[in-house]
Amino acid sequence: MISPEDITVSQFKSPQEFTGFQCEKKDYSDFVRNPDEAQKYQEENLGVTHVFKYKGYPVGFVTLAMGSLRKARMSEERQQQKPGLRDVPSLLLGHWARDSRWRTKGVGKIMMAWVLAKAAETGKQIGCRYIILDSDPEMVEHYRKWYKFEVIPPSKQDRKRRQSLMFFDLGLRGS
Amino acid sequence: MEDRRLLPKPIPVLTDEQWNFMAQRLDKPAPPEMQEELKQAVDIAKRIREE
């Protein structure tokens, strides 16, 4: 198992950092290797990718962005009849991958710990109630078991797109 | 807007049922298991070096 003291985290600098990076889903390794994806996304400040390294070698990354849980749109008329909260500030855990050769070494636990702590810290300065991720069906149990995320009951649309929205509740201030 | 593969995708809007599920939690503390997970996470995160 890797100790957190052996891990450094820094912001994504370039696709060259990920030469040799391997993960189960090619889309994810493409995301950091392709200059039109993580790099461009970060340049535009639409999401920041954080790279976790062990002895200088990238073993995983996460991409974070501001987000919000929003209620489906209502007509102007209905909004006036039913005013109230329609948006809950949340952190979007967009991309999440670790090098497949580092499986079962505790890298995921360290990465998620950093994300949860970062969200909690951010939430003290800027309102942030939930961390949201959009999970592949086969990963739902993993996120639930290891990181205590819960599933938002799926809509018809979620079932159709075969994804599960999951959340982690950062709780009340001071609790 | 050009067509890009850029991810992460935005969070889908919630249906009334989903919204009610999430909104009803707002005035309550996080579940104990999440509070415990967060506490452990903060302890672990302090040991990670940020560059």
User: What's chain A's length in residues?
Assistant: 175
Chain A residues with CB under 8 Å of B4 CB are 36, 40
How many CB atoms within 10 Å of residue A121? 12
Does B13 contact A at CB distance below 8 Å? yes
CA gap A105, A143 in Å, rounded: 16
Number of domains within chain A: 1
CA gap A117, A151 in Å, rounded: 20
A27 vs chain B: nearest CA distance in angstroms?
A: 10
CATH code of the domain containing A59: 3.40.630.30
B1 vs chain A: nearest CA distance in angstroms?
A: 14
Check A92 against B31: CB less than 8 A apart.
Answer: no
Residue A112 within a domain = yes
Residue A136 within a domain = yes
With bands split at pLDDT 50, 70 and 90, how would you rate the model's confidence at B1? very low
Residue A80 within a domain = no
Residue A28 within a domain = yes
* Pairwise pLDDT comparison (B3 vs B25), residue with the higher score: B25
Judge contact between A55 and A74, C-beta under 8 A. Answer: no
Residue A78 within a domain = no
pLDDT at position A75, please? 60
Residue A121 within a domain = yes
CA gap A60, A98 in Å, rounded: 4
Residue A79 within a domain = no
Query: Is the predicted pLDDT of residue B51 greater than 60, yes or no?
Result: yes
Residue A67 within a domain = yes
Domain that holds residue A126: 4-73+85-169
Residues 6+ apart with CB under 8 A from A76: none
A79 vs chain B: nearest CA distance in angstroms?
A: 13
* Pairwise pLDDT comparison (B34 vs A158), residue with the higher score: B34
Return the structure tokens found at A81: 């009849």
Best of B1, B3, B9, B14 to mutate (most A CBs within 10 Å, chain A): B14
pLDDT at position A72, please? 82
Check A95 against B8: CB less than 8 A apart.
Answer: yes
pTM of the model: 0.91
With bands split at pLDDT 50, 70 and 90, how would you rate the model's confidence at B24? very high
Query: Is the predicted pLDDT of residue B5 greater than 60, yes or no?
Result: no
pLDDT at position B30, please? 97
Check B41 against A71: CB less than 8 A apart.
Answer: no
Chain B residues with CB under 8 Å of A85 CB are 23, 26
Spans in chain A with pLDDT lower than 70: 74-83, 175
